[in-house]
Amino acid sequence: MTSPSLKSRIDRLYTGRHATAVRFRYALLVFDLVTVAYFIATTPYATSPTHHAVHFGLAVVIFLDLAARFWIEPSRLHYLTRIYVLADIVVLASLVLSPFVAVNLAFLRILRGLRLGHSKYLLRDLRRDWRLFREHEDAMVACLNLIVFVFVTAAGVFTFFVGVGAGMSGYLDAIYFTVTTLTTTGYGDITPSTWQGKLVSIGIMIVGVSLFLNLARAIFTPGKVHHPCRGCGLTRHEPDAIHCKHCGAEVQIETRGFS
């Protein structure tokens, strides 16, 4: 009996249901969370040789993860068009090019946050293992998208309109400006004075308000779990559903039970 190929072993790690695969996917989730937090925390500081070394190490891990996913993907061309894959490529480019360009590319690295919650196999694990996520998935994903938008935009505002020399105080001003703009609060203590800044403000309001309204809809709409019905394909059901309310077929929502 021949041993599994390297490709099949990697595929089972990323897509399998066994305990090792689940732990591996949770480890990747922790890595993504820590990486995004690191990118956010280091945005207001000028890069140093130590930062470049850390960035290179992160780039290697992200590249290996991206290459492994691409290798086991059945439809590779379609895979490359997904927004979170394109974001990973941009993040990789920003990490590799950071020692060679004068512009602080930290705002691009925060796009790594788009990777969070876009693995269907990790989502399957979260739905099965965490009741809170299973019942509030839409709200959590909408909140994540809003947070990523806020910090990517704030880092961009800080880089191009405030300046790295402003340090943490300037970074907080950029976050403050982004939040007050997307909520249309507009206290007026920080206002754009150039046409470029005004265009950015318009973009923040249009995109930010849309994301904010999507979060509000997800919070106040009764929560449902994601589980495709084999009969009609309906993907949203009540957490305790036994039959599909659309076609009446039996649904078997995967769960480890309620505590």
pLDDT score of 210 more than 80: yes
Of 25-29, 44-48, 52-56, the one with minimum mean pLDDT is: 44-48
Q: Which residues of 166-204 are buried (b: 16+ CB within 10 A; e: fewer)?
A: eeeebbebbbebbebbbeeeeeeeeebeeeeeeebbeeb
Kindly state whether residue 216 falls inside one of the protein's structural domains: no
Confidence of residue 186 (pLDDT cuts 50, 70, 90): confident
Query: Mean pLDDT over residues 22-46, rounded?
Result: 90
Q: For residue 42, what are its two tokens? A: 């280091």
Q: What's the CA gap between 164 and 154, in Å, rounded? A: 12
What does the pLDDT read at residue 254?
64
Residue 31: the pLDDT is 93
**How confident is the model at residue 66, as a pLDDT?**
92
pLDDT at 89 over 80: yes
Q: Is the pLDDT of residue 258 over 50?
A: no
Q: Quick one: average pLDDT of 175-194? A: 83
Domain-located, residue 226: no
Summarised one tens digit per residue, pLDDT across range 103-140 is 677 788 888 888 876 778 888 888 888 888 877 888 88
Note whether residue 170 is domain-resident: no
Q: What is the pLDDT of residue 259?
A: 43
Q: What's the chain's average pLDDT?
A: 83
Residue 251 belongs to some domain of the structure: no
Q: How confident is the model at residue 110, as a pLDDT? A: 86
Range of the domain at 90: 1-135
Confidence label for 239 from pLDDT (cuts 50, 70 and 90): low
pLDDT tens digit string along 138-180? 888 888 888 889 998 998 888 888 876 778 888 999 999 999 9
Tell whether 238 is covered by a domain.
no
Q: Where do we find the tokens 């403050």?
A: 176
Q: Residue 1: what pLDDT? A: 43
Q: Measured in whole angstroms, how far is the alpha carbon of residue 195 from the centre of its chain?
A: 30
pLDDT band at 240 (very low <50, low <70, confident <90, very high): low
pTM (two decimals) = 0.78
Please indicate, yes or no, if residue 174 is contained in any of the structural domains. no
Total of domains in the chain: 1
Q: What is the pLDDT of residue 215?
A: 84
Q: Which of 140, 95, 109, 146 is nearest to 122 (CA)?
A: 140
Q: Is residue 39 within 8 Å of residue 158, measured between CB atoms?
A: no
Cβ neighbour number for residue 155 with a 10 Å cutoff: 26
- Is 68 domain-assigned? yes
Question: Residue 183 domain-assigned?
Answer: no
Query: Which token pair is 154?
Result: 């704030």
